[in-house]
C-alpha cells in the first residue's frame, strides 16, 4: 500500500510538471504570433482597443501576463474569451465537452467491440483468409485519415444509401443523417469515422500479442493437459494479451477526443472542437490556451489512471521506483 501511494504521488507530481510545461510552451508560442487578437478587417477605435488590451493584461510585459495566467489557472479559472465577450472558457468547456466526450466514448467503445474480437480471430486463424482480411482492414484504417474516411462515408450514404437504396428501391433501412448529434441516426457515421483508426491499431496489436502468448510454454502445457480451447483462449491467453490494450487506452481516449475536432466540424457536431478551431482562426488566446490546458490535464489524468489499472491487472508488476517488470 505504501509503495502504491508513493507511485501515485510520483505520477501526480510528474503530471503537474508536464502540465506546467504545456501551459508555458503554448502561452509563449501564441504570444509569438504577430499582431494581437483585436486586429480585424473592421478597425477598432483606439480607446476601445486600449480598454480591451488592459482588460486582458495584454498591455503589460509578457512575463507579467504569464504570471497573471498561471495565477488564474491555479485557481481553476481559464479566463474570459476574447471573441465571445461575456463567456468564460470554463463555461464553454462545461457546455461543449459532454458532446465531445459522448462522441469520443462511443468511438472508443466501437473500437474495443470491433478491434479486440477481430484481432483474436486473426491470431487464431493465422495465415488464412480471415487473417489477411483483418490485416487489410488494419492497414487501411491506419493509412486513411479520419477526415478522408468521413468524406467517403458521407458521399456513400448520401448518393447511394439514402438516394438509391432507400428513396429509389424503398429498402426498409434506417435513413442515415450526416449532420447534427440529436438523433441516433446522426451518430453512426461520426463514430465509425473517428473510431476506425483505433479499431485498426487495437486489432493489429491484439493479433500480434495473441500470437506471442499462444506460443508460450504455459499455454502449450495447458493444451497438453487437455484444457478446452475456450478456457485456454479466454482465461489464460486473453488476459495477458489484453494488457497492452489497457496501456494504450489512456492516450487513445485522449487522442480520440482531441482528434474529434475535424470530425465534429465535418458532421456539424456542437462539441468543443468547434470552439477550438474557431478560436485558432480568430486568435482567441484565452480560448486556445484554456482548451489546450484542459485537454492536457485530461490526458495526464487518463495516463495516471491507466498506470494504476495496469498495476492492479498484472500482478507481475512491482512498485518501487516507478514500475518494473
130: pLDDT strictly greater than 80: yes
Predicted confidence band of residue 18 (pLDDT cuts 50, 70, 90) = very high
Highest mean pLDDT among 87-91, 131-135, 304-308: 87-91
pLDDT value of residue 73: 92
Please state, rounded to an integer, the average pLDDT across all residues of the chain.
83
Which pLDDT belongs to residue 40?
A: 62
Query: Could you give the percent of the chain with pLDDT greater than 90?
Result: 18
* 3-state class (DSSP) for residue 80: strand
**Helix, strand, or coil (residue 169):** coil
- The cell numbers describing 19, all together, are 502540465
Predicted confidence at residue 25, as pLDDT, reads 94
Pick 177 or 209 by higher pLDDT.
Answer: 209
Q: Domains of the chain by range and CATH?
A: 2-324 (1.10.3720.10)
Model-level pTM? 0.79
Average pLDDT of span 59-80: 89
> Could you tell me the pLDDT band of residue 325, with boundaries at 50, 70 and 90?
very low
Least confident of 20-34, 148-162, 272-286, 287-301: 272-286
Q: CA-to-CA distance for 221 and 122, rounded, in angstroms?
A: 23
- 71 pLDDT more than 60: yes
Angle, to 10 degrees, between the axis of helix 285-313 and the axis of helix 2-31? 160
Return the H-helix or E-strand segment holding 318. strand 318-320
Is pLDDT at 33 greater than 80 in this prediction?
Answer: no
pLDDT for 191: 92
State the Cα–Cα distance between residues 128 and 215, nearest whole angstrom. Answer: 18
Question: Is the per-residue pLDDT at 177 higher than 90?
Answer: no
Q: What is the pLDDT of residue 280?
A: 83
> Among 96-100, 221-225, 247-251, which range has the highest average pLDDT?
96-100
Which three cell numbers mark 123? 491470431
* The pLDDT of residue 148 is above 50: yes
- Angle formed at CA 166 by CA 162 and CA 170, multiple of 5 degrees: 170
Rounded Cα distance, 251 and 164, in Å:
40
Say whether pLDDT at 321 is over 70: no
Flag whether pLDDT at 1 surpasses 60.
yes
Amino acid at each position: 500500500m505504501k509503495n502504491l501511494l508513493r507511485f501515485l504521488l510520483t505520477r501526480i507530481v510528474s503530471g503537474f510538471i508536464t502540465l506546467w510545461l504545456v501551459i508555458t510552451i503554448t502561452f509563449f508560442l501564441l504570444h509569438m504570433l504577430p499582431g494581437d487578437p483585436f486586429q480585424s478587417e473592421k478597425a477598432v477605435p483606439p480607446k476601445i482597443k486600449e480598454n480591451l488590451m488592459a482588460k486582458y493584461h495584454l498591455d503589460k510585459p509578457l512575463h507579467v501576463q504569464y504570471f497573471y495566467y498561471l495565477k488564474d489557472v491555479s485557481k481553476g479559472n481559464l479566463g474570459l474569451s476574447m471573441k465571445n465577450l461575456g463567456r468564460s472558457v470554463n463555461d464553454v468547456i462545461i457546455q461543449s465537452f459532454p458532446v465531445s466526450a459522448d462522441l469520443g466514448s462511443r468511438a472508443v467503445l466501437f473500437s474495443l467491440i470491433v478491434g479486440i474480437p477481430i484481432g483474436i480471430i486473426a491470431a487464431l486463424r493465422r495465415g488464412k483468409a480471415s487473417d489477411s482480411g483483418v490485416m487489410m482492414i488494419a492497414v487501411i484504417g491506419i493509412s486513411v485519415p479520419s477526415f478522408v474516411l468521413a468524406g467517403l462515408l458521407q458521399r456513400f450514404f448520401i448518393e447511394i444509401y439514402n438516394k438509391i437504396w432507400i428513396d429509389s428501391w424503398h429498402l426498409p433501412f434506417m435513413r442515415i443523417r450526416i449532420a447534427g448529434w440529436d438523433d441516433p441516426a446522426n451518430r453512426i457515421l461520426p463514430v465509425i469515422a473517428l473510431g476506425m483508426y483505433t479499431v485498426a491499431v487495437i486489432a493489429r496489436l491484439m493479433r500480434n500479442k495473441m500470437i506471442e502468448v499462444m506460443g508460450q510454454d504455459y499455454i502449450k502445457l495447458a493444451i497438453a493437459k487437455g484444457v478446452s480451447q475456450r478456457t485456454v483462449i479466454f482465461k489464460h491467453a486473453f488476459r495477458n494479451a489484453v494488457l497492452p490494450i489497457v496501456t494504450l487506452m489512456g492516450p487513445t481516449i485522449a487522442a480520440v477526443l482531441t482528434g474529434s475536432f475535424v470530425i465534429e466540424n465535418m458532421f456539424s457536431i456542437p462539441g468543443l472542437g468547434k470552439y477550438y478551431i474557431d478560436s485558432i482562426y480568430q486568435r482567441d488566446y484565452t480560448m486556445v490556451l484554456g482548451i489546450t490546458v484542459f485537454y492536457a490535464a485530461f490526458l495526464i489524468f487518463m495516463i495516471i489512471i491507466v498506470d494504476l489499472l495496469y498495476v492492479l491487472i498484472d500482478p507481475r508488476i512491482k512498485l518501487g521506483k516507478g514500475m518494473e517488470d
